[in-house]
Structure 1
Amino acid sequence: MILHELIDYPTLRIIWWALIGVLLIGFAMTDGFDLGVGVLSPFVARTDMERRIALNAIGPVWEGNQVWLILGGGAIFAAWPPLYAVSFSGFYLAMFLVLAALILRPVGMKYRSKRPEAAWRARWDAALFVAGFVPSLIFGVAVGNALVGAPFYFTTEMVPRYAGSFLGLLGPFPLLCGVLAVSMVVMHGGAWLTLKTDGPIAERSRRYGSMAALAVMVLFALGGLVVWLLLDGYRITSPIVTDGPSNPLLKSVVREPGAWMTNYRTYPWMLIAPAAGFIGAAGAWLGMRARSEVGTLLLSKLSIFGVISTVGVSMFPFLLPSSHAPDASLTVWDSSSSHLTLFIMLVSTAIFLPIILAYTSWVYRVLWGKVTEEEIRRTTDSAY
């Protein structure tokens, strides 16, 4: 037996669908609180020293956290080439805005405290707010458009073509998802600041973080009602071939109301995902009000896991449906790399992902503890 045949093709496709979810959730759980601190900073940190404390709460870890986004993008490129081609080309302007905003973060973190002038620092504070708000909003809008369907198709030569515009992505439901994403990172950033800071910053973070947790519950419920009652989902009507070639045009797909709820009727255990989204947000709200720290952060992570997982299990096996040509929709069964490629990548992941997790855990353990004004004054040369 050839080595890569130890795991059959359909199973490898499922594994890589799950791994992409793990990487995206890992990014949201880690870099999510970095983005949230950027959004919260103008509201919870009102003096220059308070802003420096907030930045130093994420300063040692944000670069490592951002690696999860790079891993996710690389995994999509290698495991799901048609998905990469359609999303990174069709959503080019949106991706450019995300990258431009993310570039502001390292520049702002490094340059903000290089000069003492208030105007100089205020401009960089505004840049750091943009660096947190814009990517969060656009990532949420992207998820909303995945549920609605993106306007793309394939030519007879299997070249993807995008038939929409950037403004076309900003529909009511995608914007609702964008606001939900911003609320999630604000909740997560508030939970992180309550863990890493004391005094007025922590108190304000609890207040804004608890408000964001309530917003997450309300917006998540509203989004679920829209998906259930108003939004057309997608359903494969032709026989499903799980081990066939990666050609999205070899199937038939229809749009119909409520189709995104089918998996929950077929597999009731999938309701764990939305339940985790609500339970985590409610727990984070209660934790902030009870002045819990570690528990609040963990419950905030649970909410993020639940919300993102809900999208994945609702759409399965779809990765990115096409509103322009439903038959061209990308699914787990017809958009992956080859059997051998997926297997080699899985072996590499099994080796390197535990190393990344172990190193990340070690970093957080070493940097455990609260950021204080005294510490920043003591380490003026290295503090942000």
Structure 2
Amino acid sequence: MILHELISYDVLRVIWWLLMGVVLVGFAVTDGFDLGAGMLLPFVGKTDLERRVVINAFGPVWEGNQVWLLLGGGAIFAAWPHLYAVSFSGFYLAMFIILFALILRPVAIKFRSKNEDAAWRTRWDWILFFCGIVPALICGVAMGNVLQGVPFKLEDDMQIHYLGSFFGLLNPYALLCGLVSVAMIAMHGAAWLQLKTDGEVAARARRIGSMAALLTVVLFLLGGVLLFMFIGGFQITSDISTTGPSNPLAKTVEPVAGAWFANYAAQPMLYVVPVLGLAGAALAWVLMLASRPLLALIMSGVGIAGIILSVGVSMFPIILPSTVDPRMSMTVWDSSSSHTTLFIMLVCVLIFLPLILAYTSWVYSIMRGKVSADDIAEGRDHAY
């Protein structure tokens, strides 16, 4: 028996659907706190020294955190080529803005303190705010559009036509999802700053973070209610092969009211996922107010994971629905790479992901402890 046949095609497809969720959560939880800290920089740091403390709280680790973004893009390209083609072409301008912000962020971190001019430093501080809030907002907006469906169609030869526009993505429900994303990233960044700093910076992070956590709970609940009452969802209404070759045109999909909640009705245990999103954010709020920053950071991470994974759980097995012709919607069963490709990639993940996690854990262990304003004031060379 060929080795890759030990794991059936349908199981491999589900494994890679799960891994896509893991990568998205990994990016949001790790890179999320430094995006959030940058977003909060002008508000938690009132003096130049305080703002340098904030930058030095996330500056040494942001590059390692961003590995999850590269891993996610590569994984989608290799495991879900149809999904990659539609999303990266249809959301091209949005993706470009995110990449522009992420490229500009290290420039701001490196150059901000090279000049002692106050106006120079203030401009870079607001650029870091921009580089934090824009990726968070656009990622949330993208998720809101995925839940509503995306205007694309496929020709018989799999040629893709995206029929929407950038400003069409900025609809009310998508903007609400964007606000959920901004609130939860601000919560996570504030929890990190409360853990890594002290004094007035930590106190301001505590106040802002607790408000962001409460806002995350409220907005996530509101998004769920509106999704149930007005958005509807999509449902496969024909037979579909879970082990056949990928062909998004070989099925029938229809918009159905309440379809995104059908999985919860069929498997009530799945409610644990959105409950974790709500409970994590709520506990982060309580723990930040109680000045327990490490537990608050952990709970905010749990909340972020629950919020992101609830989207995947709601939509399964659909990954990207089409509003132009619903039968062209991408699903777990008909938009993946081949059996062999998925198996080889899984072997690579099993080898390299533990190494990445071990290295990341080691780095965070080395960088543990609070950032001291005294060390920065003394002009240590390593300080940003």
Task: Please give the secondary structure, in 1, of the residue aligned with 2:233.
Answer: strand
Pairs within 5 Å for 1:90-129: 90-129=90-129
The superposition leaves residues 62-115 of structure 1 with CA deviations (integer Å, 9 ceiling, x where unpaired) of: 000011011001000000000000000110000010001111100000000000
**Residue 153 of structure 1 aligns with which residue?**
153
What is the distance in 2 between the residues matched to 1:6 and 1:157? 32
* Amino acid aligned to 1:258: G
Once the two structures are superposed, residues 285-311 of structure 1 have per-residue CA deviations (whole angstroms, 9 ceiling, x without a partner) of 000110101110000001001000100
Q: Counterpart amino acid of 2:143?
A: V
What TM-score results when the alignment is normalised by the length of structure 2? 0.99
Distance in 1, matches of 2:377 and 2:2, equals 61
SS in 2 for 1:113: coil
Aligned-pair Cα RMSD in Å: 0.7
Name the residue aligned to 1:307.
307
Q: Which runs of structure 2 are paired with 1:4-43 in the superposition (5 Å)?
A: 4-43=4-43
Amino acid at match of 1:289: L
- Counterpart-to-counterpart distance in 1, 2:318 and 2:101: 29
Kindly provide the amino acid, as one letter, of the partner of residue 249 in structure 1: L
For the pair 1:368 / 2:368, whether they are aligned, the reply is: yes
Structure 1 residue 380, shift from structure 2 partner = 2.9
**Alpha-carbon distance in 2 for matches of 1:211, 1:257:** 34
Which residue does 1:330 correspond to in 2?
330
Identity %: 61
| Aligned mates of 2:269, 2:252 — CA distance in 1 | 27
TM-score by structure 1 length?
0.99
Query: What pairs with 1:1-384 in structure 2 (closer than 5 Å)?
Result: 1-378=1-378, 380-384=380-384
Q: Which runs of 4+ in 1 moved over 4 A?
A: none
Measured after TM superposition, the shift of residue 376 of structure 1 is 1.6
CA–CA separation in structure 2 for the residues paired with 1:375 and 1:360: 25
Residue 379 of structure 1: how far off its partner (Å):
5.2
Shift, 1:339, TM fit: 0.1
SS at match of 2:256: strand
Task: For structure 2, list consecutive stretches of 5 or more residues without a partner in the other structure.
Answer: none
Q: Distance in 1 between matches of 2:378 and 2:48?
A: 16
Structure 1 CA distance for aligned equivalents of residues 194 and 10 of structure 2: 44
Count of residue pairs brought into register by the alignment? 384
Show structure 1 runs of 5+ residues with no match: none
Structure 1 CA distance for aligned equivalents of residues 378 and 157 of structure 2: 63
Amino acid paired to 2:175 = L
**What SS class does the counterpart of residue 246 from structure 1 fall into?**
coil
How far apart, CA to CA, are the structure 1 residues paired with 2:154 and 2:364? 45
